[in-house]
Amino acid sequence: MKQFNVFVEDRVGELARVAEALAQSAINIRGLATDRYGPRPAVKIITDDELSTRKALSRGGFEFEESEVVVVDLIDRPGEIAKAAKRAAKAGVNIGSVFLIGKKDMPAALALGTDNPKKAKKAFEQ
Residue 114: the pLDDT is 85
The torsion angles phi and psi of 72, rounded to 5 degrees, stand at -115, 120
From the list 125, 113, 116, 117, the residue with the least C-alpha distance to 46 is 113
pLDDT at 39 over 90: no
106, pLDDT greater than 70: no
7 vs 4: CA distance, rounded Å: 9
pLDDT in tens, 45-102: 999 899 999 999 999 999 999 999 998 888 888 899 899 999 999 999 999 888 777 6
Report which of 74, 72, 70 is spatially closest to residue 103, judged by C-alpha positions: 74
Domains of the chain are 2-67 (3.30.2130.10), 69-125 (3.30.70.260)
